[in-house]
Amino acid sequence: MSSTNYLDELNPVQRKAVEHIEGPLMVIAGAGSGKTRVLTYRIAHLIHKGIDPYNILALTFTNKAAREMKERISRIVGPSDAKALWMGTFHSVFARILRNEADRIGYPKNFTIYDTADSRSLLKNIITKELKLDDKVYKVSIVHNRISAAKNNLLTAADYANQSILLQEDASAKRPQLSEIYRRYEKRCFNSGAMDFDDLLFKTNVLLKNSPEALLKYQEKFKYIMVDEFQDTNFAQAIILKRLAARYENICVVGDDAQSIYAFRGANIQNILNFKRDYQDTATYKLEQNYRSTQTIVGAANSIIAKNKEQLDKNVWTQNATGDSIQLIRARSDNEEGRAIADEIYRTRSEEQAANSDFAILYRTNAQSRAMEEALRKLNIPYRIYGGLSFYQRKEIKDILAYFRLLVNHKDEEALRRVINYPKRGLGQTTIDRITVFSSEQGVSIWDGILQLLANPRGLNSGTITKLSEFINMIRSFEGTLETENAYELASKMAASSGILRELYQDKTIEGVSRYENIQELLAGIKEFTDSAPEGEVRYLADFMQDVALLTDQDKDDKNDSDRVGLMTVHSAKGLEFPYVFIVGLEENLFPSQMSTGTRSELEEERRLFYVALTRAEKKAYLSYALTRYKWGNLIYCEPSRFLEEIDSSFISTPPSKESFSPSGSDSRQVKRLTKTPTRATPSINPAPNRKLVRMSESGSRPNLGRAQGPSDLSPGMEVEHQRFGKGKVIRVEGNPESRKATINFEGKGEKQLLLKFAQLTVLKSS
């Protein structure tokens, strides 16, 4: 593509956004509105207008998005200019800056990047071994999240210790030592030459705040800044952007407040809502035409998100076909819900010649995947779970990577602790604990502590000294090759010398063979990484380790999953699209989550999450809920999600009421039997179109015997049956229709007061 032909591919609003070069710019991009094209073409247009690509910074949230954009830009402006761009995730770009400027903040250039598992391993060691605290009270995940939140709000351990409100919260939670844990964690990371993921943002802020020279350097370098998914930025990211953009204010942010769903990670929707306040001369363009979904899906999504009060004004529309109504699936149990969905995928795949990869099943929590997996397996439908155990999180992979990390950075404490006695070399846990305590007392890394002990054993026996010396010498023997041999050559030698390959090769169990093959797959990946380097460039082991450390969930290789049904949480589905989408488990306290309905802002985020789920669909969307579900080993009765009622009824096809769940058994065993072995005929997914979603009949007409009745149908004297309590007689009915209650005397169970809109009563005899 040459000259400015690429501009002809844009609609009028997209083109205006692309051609707007100077000053602050906000592009509000509705779902499916082509924001990636706008980002890509705007960068290409900047280069076409003579702006040096070296002066352009483009930030994304996944490496995959950055790669795809860079490939598109390369096709327009050529590979040389595209290569000069600084484009990548916040973490990868800031890691690159920190390696260049590490000496300004007292870090080595070869610092290690700890992943979540590394951070939590170190924290567990501090909690249980150093401070002797109860890890049931000081749960590692809670402590880690607390420290992460502090860093994302730019609080050092010292700052944290001076925040009386935070200390009071910790004391109330019976975790008064959390401040001390943070202090030790901060110190141990520094001594190990390590940064966790939060540090990549935190330390960049420290650098730009404390080094005027570094700040000016990068302000001059990044004269044009572009940010994708701006609604997902947190406080630390927003401060970095303000500092970098302060000199020229050529900052363009692209995002959609309606898709802000990461508050639990610290994302702050106010960053996009208040962007105009921060930059008062901001130009704003709204991308409102949806190119992805049918009119039905767009209309339904609009009717949902309109219920939120805190949002930027926009009107998403589409010229696509009207499309099918959204189908509602009502099932008696979660297992039956899974079977109904598997059946529909099987049918649609056959009748519409669809591929497995055309389908996605989205759920609120990972635990919901079980019923879906079982149902898909029974019909031999291949599937893939997104967000499952990453290849790089498997034990054998983390073991060999720990050796590589130790080669690059000897002071990496977590890597050293992981491999110092693997494969076994006679260094027991007692010895490792003594070394750890000694190093902590000396205020040095474990590596330096071992070196001190080798010089002055201090009670260690000669056998232990010999084993420690052999381990240290093995690692040191590779020091001279870090920048002379490429990543693959060095990794292959290290894998052999460490003894890991030999250990796994000798294990002939199925698991052992699989682990050995995984190591070989890793080495093959390193070979590909090495061979794909640009001409004249050598990729070393340190380069590969940084590349791996900065992988995100969406950056995994999909080559072996090319035609599988996708199973994932809604959060994992962000940025993806599928012809057919099933949104499952639409029940109160599940979606919306029980944990997220305490405040309006929490509920609005849940509604945005539902909006994101629905707008993943291109051709057809299905919404499902179960009337019963097992939770913590108990059968619970479920109420349909409020979100189902919030959708404009003209967009939904609902099951006929005669197919609703009306168990006839006299006790809970009947319900359990229905849950475990339901018939396939019960769920309905092809009812008459455009029927209003109704939880129960509230018509006020004379009740039909044998039917589940609603709040206005019941009167004293009626004989009824309840799913759990069995047969009973209505004593009295009170309250308004929305909150009406009935007092019922059940045989053998006594009087029970039930909220009628949830009770699912069956009338046996009218009064």
Q: How many CB atoms lie within 10 A of CB 487?
A: 22
Instruction: Indicate if 136 belongs to the active site.
Output: no
Instruction: Indicate if 413 belongs to the active site.
Output: no
Point out the catalytic residue in the list 15, 286, 332, 616: 616
Point out the catalytic residue in the list 4, 19, 36, 707: 36
Query: Which amino acid is it at 741?
Result: K
Instruction: Indicate if 616 belongs to the active site.
Output: yes
Q: How far is CA 486 from CA 92, 482, 500, in A?
A: 21, 8, 20
CA gyration radius, the chain = 30
- For 756, phi then psi, to 5°, come to -65, -30
Point out the catalytic residue in the list 14, 15, 35, 574: 35
Q: How far is CA 251 from CA 22, 59, 219, in A?
A: 8, 11, 12
Point out the catalytic residue in the list 81, 115, 198, 229: 229
Instruction: Indicate if 112 belongs to the active site.
Output: no
The tokens for 522 are: 């890793």
The tokens for 186 are: 């901060």
- For 22, phi then psi, to 5°, come to -95, 145
Point out the catalytic residue in the list 40, 177, 233, 259: 259
Determine the Cα–Cα distance for residues 244 and 249; give it in Å rounded to an integer: 9
395-408 vs 487-498: helix axis angle to the nearest 10?
110
Instruction: Indicate if 109 belongs to the active site.
Output: no
Determine the Cα–Cα distance for residues 250 and 135; give it in Å rounded to an integer: 48
Point out the catalytic residue in the list 115, 118, 199, 228: 228
* Burial of residue 100, with CB atoms counted within 10 A of its CB: 0-12 exposed, 13-18 middle, 19 or more buried: middle
**Ordered strands of the 578-583 beta sheet:** 383-385, 565-569, 359-363, 578-583, 617-626, 326-331, 652-653
Query: Which amino acid is it at 727?
Result: K
- 3-state class of 513 per DSSP? helix
- For 260, phi then psi, to 5°, come to -85, 105
Nearest to 540 by CA among 526, 551, 552: 526
Instruction: Indicate if 35 belongs to the active site.
Output: yes
Look at the chain and count its residues. Answer: 767
Query: Which amino acid is it at 107?
Result: Y
Q: Which residues, including other chains, have CB under 8 Å from residue 160's CB and lie 6 or more apart? A: 150, 166, 179, 182
Give the position of tokens 């610092």: 111
Query: Which amino acid is it at 332?
Result: R
What are the residue numbers of the active site? 35-36, 228-229, 259, 616
